[in-house]
Amino acid sequence: MNINDQDYALVFTLHKDNKNKWMGDIDGNIVISERNKDSADTQDMMMNMLTLLSTCVKLLETDKDFIQKVWETRDELDMDIDIREPDVSSSLKQLDMLETLVEDKPNIIQKNGNVIKFNFTKRI
């Protein structure tokens, strides 16, 4: 993945089985270019925003009220990128099934320079 010197990215990687089917787990990575010339304060503010966004993933997996509010707000902002009608009820049922797999806080898998890999789910 190429990012520009001034980019800040939250990248999700899907865990797939040997048939290339998504298993429901993701790894999230925060990526900042090593050549980024923003001030330390700016980088800290951006890292704060990115970690807040990654925390939203946790809430989307565990908090039914939060996901409902996010769906509604996305619809109000006309940000639906899928041509299919979103199925909130189905998403909430999936959340119920995932609740037993989710940890209370993300598991930081690896830190390498300005890249942090984290995982929100337990391995069974």
Burial class (CB in 10 A: 0-12, 13-18, 19+), 91: middle
Whether the CB-CB separation of 30 and 54 falls below 8 Å is answered with yes
For residue 71, pLDDT beyond 70: yes
Whether the CB-CB separation of 22 and 15 falls below 8 Å is answered with yes
Tokens 């209370």 sit at which residue?
104
Give the total residue count for the chain: 124
Q: For residue range 23-66, list pLDDT tens digits in order.
A: 888 888 888 888 899 999 999 999 999 999 989 988 988 899 99
pTM for this predicted structure: 0.56
For residue 76, pLDDT beyond 60: yes
Q: For residue range 89-115, list pLDDT tens digits in order.
A: 666 666 665 554 554 556 667 777 777
Left if phi > 0, otherwise alpha if psi is -120 to 50, otherwise beta: which for 116? beta
